[in-house]
Amino acid sequence: MSAGGSGGPATGGIDHNKIIIFGIIGALVGIYAAYFLVNAIGSAFSFIAGLGAICSIVWGASAVRRVSNYGLGTGVPSIGMLAIGTGMVASLFGMAVGSIAGPIISFVTACIIGLVIGILANRIIGMGIPIMEQSMTEIAGAGSLTIVALSTTMSGTFMIETILPNVIGTGYIAMIFIIGALSILHPFNANLGPDEHQDRTLSTGFEKGAIAVIIAGIVATTTAGAASIPTILVGAFIWYTAFSKFYEYIKRDAHKVVGTGVLPTEEELE
């Protein structure tokens, strides 16, 4: 039984390699820019890491779209959860041992674990999806960058001494887990089907990423190193733009969009 996806490679739209570069560079630049600007100027710049998180989320969503189009058999959510599970293990390791190189160590570790899981899935479990190795590497890498970026948005730094009491000890890390997983898995899960289009799926990715940034901004009210108002405002602006774009694509792709009107009252039904 296959759930979701047409059983072939995903087609159309922007070249996936460009999205990979956008995701990696965008996320790393966002994380490091936020870190250095917060240190040099002030906590107001913590929102830049949120922009980085959106880049990696869109990349993750695009990778999920490519691999899930083959039909995973278990539904799309499983691969998002795998991405963020791998990313979580790798990013906590990277931040714990890496100090200033934390985000890069997290990313590389996640890619290695992802690659191994991809090889295992094809060679031992026998899933037979040709791009499984590459996609698992990408998805795990995107998951780890998302986690590091959202942690940085919440606390203004990726140094484990600050992350530990502010994000992990308080339990916000569990929230990062689920908002990260949902924003990576949901875009394709919501748009899959014969009429799936890359631009509509990715606009959902931007929109979900913006919601994650808004939530990270709300958490930032509890931490000293990060400012919440700029993060929430930037998140809300991106959300509005992406959602308008998404709705525009819906109207383009749908046969017809009609209003159903208000529900009939009891008297009208009689």
If the CB atoms of residues 109 and 228 are measured against other proteins, the closer one turns out to be: 109
Among 54, 84, 131, 232, binds other proteins (CB under 8 A): 84
| Residues in region 121-180 near other proteins by CB under 8 A | 121, 124-127, 160, 164-165, 168-171, 173-174, 177
Report the C-alpha gap between 230 and 116 in whole angstroms. 39
Report the C-alpha gap between 267 and 43 in whole angstroms. 58
**210 backbone dihedrals φ, ψ, rounded to 5°:** -65, -40
Per CB under 8 A, the segment of 58-66, 77-85, 249-257, 261-269 that binds other proteins is: 77-85
**Tokens for 91?**
């990013």
Residue 228 DSSP code: S
* Least Cβ distance, residue 79 to other proteins (angstroms): 7
Cβ-contact 62, 202 below 8 angstroms: yes
C-alpha closest to that of 230 among 174, 132, 156, 157: 156
Report the C-alpha gap between 240 and 41 in whole angstroms. 28
* Least Cβ distance, residue 199 to other proteins (angstroms): 27
If the CB atoms of residues 145 and 227 are measured against other proteins, the closer one turns out to be: 145
If the CB atoms of residues 5 and 26 are measured against other proteins, the closer one turns out to be: 5
Residues found near other proteins in the complex (CB under 8 A): 1, 3, 72-75, 77-79, 81-82, 84-90, 92-93, 96-97, 109, 112-113, 116-117, 120-121, 124-127, 160, 164-165, 168-171, 173-174, 177
